[in-house]
A and B are shown apart, each in its own frame.
Chain A
Amino acid sequence: MSSHRLTLLCSLSALVGCTTTPAPGDYDLVIANGRVIDPASDRDAPGHLGIRGGTIAVISERPLAGKDTIDATGLVVTAGFVDLHSHSVGADGQKWQVRDGVTTSLELEEGSYPVAEWYARLEGKSLINFGVSAGHIPARIAVIGGAKTLDEAERIRGAGEGRSPPEWSHGPTTPERLAAITRVIEAGIDAGAIGVGFEVNESPGASREEILELFRIAARKRVAIYAHPRLMGVDPITGSMAGAQEILANAAATGATTHFVHLGSSGNIYARAIVEMIEGARRANLDVTGEVYPYTAASTGIQTGFFDGDWQGRIGITYADVEWPATGERLTAASFAKFRRQGGAVIIHAMKDENVELLIARPGVIIASDAMPLPNGKGHPRGVGTFARVLGRYVREKQTVDLVTAIRKMTILPVERAQRGGAGSLSRKGRVVVGADADLTVFDPATVVDRATFDNPEQPSAGIPFVVVNGTVVVRHGELVPGVAPGRPIKRTYPPPT
């Protein structure tokens, strides 16, 4: 047999999935004996993965030999989870998220400015893949607040309300400001940002025209909008329905690809109506999606516009539903006033589990964490336990959604969303196929569960023994592997893949 024919035979064998057993060491890493679930390719079958040079080189029914082998007997092997919504992409957040199975964490709602500095900060130092949008609030902080660096911007963003609301959030739109904000956002996209993010209820000075302009920029630059609405809450006329309608109208007028963040907290009691509206927009050939995190409490800065005016009536809660994480205390009028001047994230117990379940079960709704930093080990647990919580509590215990659908919502759906939103370099992620990036999560479907709680969030998820990022093992036997930083930047490619 000529070598030519041998090569051909091998290729054919690979195509039908039965390779000859290679010599030991052919692969950098082998994940053996797992149940490989890949919703993107409709795979749910036992198999062995051979990884070479950071990519999946083979998926085989027969055992493989590698320099390093993970025994995944009894475990599920899936693409690593892709989180579209993390405010904790830095080192502190990564160490929790990666043990929750996350291999790519993107800051798309808040976004950033300056974008180049944001990427540079993580370059070569990141456990997991990372990316960011051009943020509207950071742009306002730059244009109105005068921030020139990330540190300045973050300091201004986190500061307490003081005597009066800050100008960067509550100052009105002017033609000059809008032109400058537009320039800053466009520069961010040109620097690689993979979308435009806004949270307009935390920057209530921004007019509706200013927000519409963000959609125009996104449409022009062919990146996605990541939208946190202006109006949220239970009021039938000025509540969450109206908030969603502003976003949908802007999408209709501009054609911008649009993603609704955290539908649970934005949708409140109107979650079903809003998810149905999003589906209607998709039927009208607009690219509109949404996401949910699996908790009945929200979190945001107590100093922000979220708490302007009659927030109790608006959201349908009282002081006692607001928790100060540092002490675990529920607030009163007096402690609320004190903490609002001081500033800091609070936990807001505002949602009904039936609405959270509805969104988790709904086909097409993506799982994303909205991870928040945990200063002094306190804060919302969603940055630590979101993905294991879905797999443990909503798939296994409540059977809200089946395992394969849940994995789809954590892998290929967020990848395709961000990819169509301009993040072309995600095209080899979110899938377990030959040639894909070896971002892999190995978990035990019988035991996987979140352990992070509102009282004590710094407890990593259980039942996720192995996580691989670009072919490098970053979690082994549930422990962080020291001294590795295989994460790579996810940046905009233009034009986006269709």
Chain B
Amino acid sequence: MTRWPCSLLAAVASVIVRQAAAQQYDIVLRGGRVMDPATGLDAVRNVAIRGDRVVAVTAGALTGKTVVDVTGMVVAPGFIDLHAHGQNLSDSRWQALDGVTTALEMESGAWPIAEWYENRAREGLLNFGATVGHIPARIGHFSNATKLAEVRAARVNSGLTPDWSHKRLAPNELDGLIANVKRGLDEGGLGVGLGITYTPAASPNEIHRVFELAAAERVPVYVHTRSSPVNEPGVSLLPVQEMLADALVTGAALHVVHLGSTGLQQAPLLARMIEAARKRGLDVTTEVYPYTAGSTLIQSALFDEGWKERLGIDYGGLQWPATNERLTAETFAKYRKEGGWVILHMIPEATVDALVGHPGIMIASDGVPIINNRGHPRGVGTYARVLGRYVRERKILGLMDALRKMAYLPAERVRGVVPAMARKGRVSVGADADLVVFDPERVIDRATFDNPAQASAGIPHVLVNGVFVVRDGKLVDGVLPGQPVRRASR
């Protein structure tokens, strides 16, 4: 047999494929450096999208209805933020411009869950989801609030020592609270969110009961640990030790949020403890945001007596975003009565460097609402900041490691509850077309503490479920392609 019939067959087949491709691909991203942290692929490839899925990743030429030349750019899975408090269209837009395609509210969580998902679906620019919040469930328990708006109002307008945060529940009074949390899980909550710092009256026994429920329901607990005890100045290891003990004893999966602001100087030691526990078989993970300041509500229990000793800062370490002034005893007292978001300059740079550079610790923004163009910049610039400052400029971690921490690891964290997360955090055939295209030489955050309302640069394209939400560096109007990430009812 001569060779030519084979070649002829191949040529014919190639034409057929190309014609079919031309018909079936909605979008082709041509010539980019595809980086897939799930498989380690790092090569120039063309990526084809049909509907909401990636259908081809190939070195061969592709054509489609829309072809975008992304030569010189990185094509990566869209970033998955486990810790996004800005659950509204305005804050989602800042996050989209930062490369985020899935923004989940795992720490504070929500309650009631069904209403939350209904509301959120009306403005789903990004994929969205939430845990059942212990705090809102506790508010519901004490106030009989049953609507999201009532719960939110109770959270921000209830004075400095409301029952929901400062009243203890005896062991025999816990059943109602646990039932609230259980109902949220039944309605699709992605786990249980705990902010124990904000509910100092919640005893270890109460928290243990929450872990027992989470273990029984096979969902993780996302936790902002309790404040250090007053008689242990600085950061005590106890709050994280409590969580490790609960995870060990109940078997519940545990995610410790924002280890940088939780651990301060002790964070690297806490990271070692968490990693050691994980290596020993516990399902324990953690996250960090790439900033040396935190942010929270000034009226919260975090500022109960002893905060200066616990956090190692004085009034001057606090910034009031509305005016950008640093606080004094007088202004602190005034604003604590009024309530509002405050920025806390308290996290050692060495801690942020160590955690951002750690290959097993996820990146999550803890983004809080940008109100009147003011607020902590982390909800605007977290991901570009990691890529620009920590990867490119300071070389604290490699680019693929960063993508793994921003997309693949968070997807894996949620996958146990939502199996479809196996299609996120990846660039491969069959994956959801949640993609970010960025310029590794230019990507950078521009949001600052004084002026946060400045979108990240160097991220020209972002797709959510096969739909451009950012194109050529600009938000696309009139699209809401975000889908709920929700636990299947059982």
Point out residues on A near B: beta carbons under 8 Å: 208-209, 212, 236-238, 241-242, 244-246, 248-255, 270, 273, 276-277, 280-281, 283-286, 309
Q: Which residues of chain B are within 8 angstroms of A212 by Cβ–Cβ distance? A: 237, 273
> Known contacts A208-B236, A249-B244; is A242 also within 8 Å of B204 by CB?
yes
Q: In this complex, what residue of B is CB-closest to A252?
A: B248
The 8 A-B residue pairs with the shortest CB-CB distance, nearest first, are: A280-B249, A249-B241, A245-B245, A249-B244, A248-B245, A236-B203, A208-B237, A241-B204
Judging by beta carbons under 8 Å apart, are A281 and B249 in contact? yes
Chain B, residues 162-178, CB within 8 Å of chain A (1/0): the string is 00000010000000000
A277: nearest chain-B partner, CB-CB: B249
Contact B281 A285 (CB under 8 A): yes
Whether B280 lies near A252 (C-beta < 8 A) is yes
Q: Is there an interface contact between A280 and B248, defined as CB atoms closer than 8 Å?
A: yes
Which parts of B259-303 form the interface with A (CB within 8 Å)?
269, 272-274, 276-277, 280-282
Shortest CB–CB separation between residue A246 and chain B, in angstroms? 5
In the assembled complex, the CB of A171 is this many whole angstroms from the nearest CB of chain B, namely 16
Q: Which residues of A contact B232 (CB under 8 A)?
A: 208
Other contacts beyond A252-B282, A253-B273: 18, CB < 8 A = A209-B237, A212-B273, A236-B204, A237-B204, A241-B203, A248-B245, A248-B249, A249-B240, A249-B242, A249-B273, A250-B241, A251-B248, A252-B245, A252-B277, A255-B280, A276-B249, A284-B249, A286-B248
Q: Which of B340-381 contact A (CB under 8 A)?
A: none
Whether B238 contacts A208 by the Cβ 8 Å rule is: yes
> B88 in the interface, Cβ–Cβ < 8 Å?
no
Give the dominant DSSP class at B's interface. Answer: helix
Tell me the bound Cα distance from A175 to B349 in angstroms. 22
- In the bound complex, how far is the Cα of B238 from the Cα of A212, in angstroms? 11
Q: Which of A236, A286, A309 contacts B168 (CB 8 A)?
A: A236
Give the interface of B toward A (CB within 8 A).
168, 200, 203-205, 208, 226, 229, 231-232, 236-238, 240-251, 269, 272-274, 276-277, 280-282
Decide: B249 and A246 in contact? CB cutoff 8 A.
no
Within 8 Å by CB of A283, from B204, B236, B251, B282, lies B251
Name the CB-closest residue of B to A235.
B203
B211 CB, min distance to chain A CBs, angstroms:
10
Q: Give CA–CA (A238, B168) in the complex, Å.
A: 14
The residue from A208, A236, A283 contacting B241, defined by CB atoms under 8 A apart? A208
Q: Among the listed A208, A241, A249, which residue makes an inter-chain contact with B248, where contact means beta carbons less than 8 Å apart?
A: A249
Query: In the complex, A245 Cα to B277 Cα: how many Å?
Result: 14
Residue in B241, B251, B277 whose CB lies within 8 Å of A246: B241
Instruction: Report 26 cross-chain contacts, Cβ distance below 8 Å, ordered by A residue.
Output: A208-B232, A209-B269, A236-B203, A241-B203, A241-B204, A241-B205, A242-B238, A244-B245, A245-B238, A245-B241, A246-B241, A248-B249, A249-B242, A249-B243, A249-B244, A250-B241, A252-B244, A253-B274, A254-B276, A270-B205, A277-B245, A280-B249, A280-B251, A284-B282, A285-B281, A309-B231
Contacts of A309 in B (CB 8 A): 231
Q: Please, how many angstroms separate the alpha-carbon atoms of A238 and B226 in the complex?
A: 12
| Contact, CB under 8 Å: A245 / B246 | yes
- A253 and B244 contact, CB distance less than 8 A: yes
CB pair A253–B229 under 8 Å, yes or no, is: no
Q: In angstroms, how far is the closest chain B Cβ from the Cβ of A183?
A: 21
- The reply to whether A284 and B248 form a contact with Cβ atoms under 8 Å apart is yes
Residues of A within 8 A of B229 (CB): 237-238, 242
Report if A273-B208 is in contact (Cβ < 8 Å); known contacts: A245-B246, A255-B280, A280-B249. yes
A268 to chain B, nearest CB (A): 13
Closest to B230 in A: A238
Tell me the bound Cα distance from A284 to B251 in angstroms. 7
Q: How far is the CB of A90 from chain B (nearest CB, A)?
A: 36
Complex CA distance for A280 and B208, rounded to whole angstroms: 12
Given A248-B245, A280-B250, residue A253 in contact with residue B204 (CB < 8 A): no
In the bound complex, CA of A130 to CA of B200 (Å): 47
State the CA gap A255–B276 with chains docked (Å): 9
Collect the chain B residues with CB atoms within 8 Å of residue A241's CB: 203-205, 208
Question: A209 vs B272: C-alpha distance in the bound complex, in angstroms?
Answer: 12
Measured CB to CB, the closest approach of chain A to B236, in angstroms, equals 6
- B244 contacts across to A, CB distance below 8 A: 245, 248-249, 252-253
In the complex, what's the smallest C-beta–C-beta distance from A131 to chain B, in angstroms?
Answer: 28
* B242 lies within 8 A of A245 (CB): yes
Most buried by B among A237, A248, A281: A237
Residues of A within 8 Å of B250, CB to CB, are 280
A384 to chain B, nearest CB (A): 36
In whole angstroms, how far apart are the Cα atoms of A195 and B70 in the complex? Answer: 62
B residues in contact with A284, CB < 8 Å: 248-249, 251, 281-282
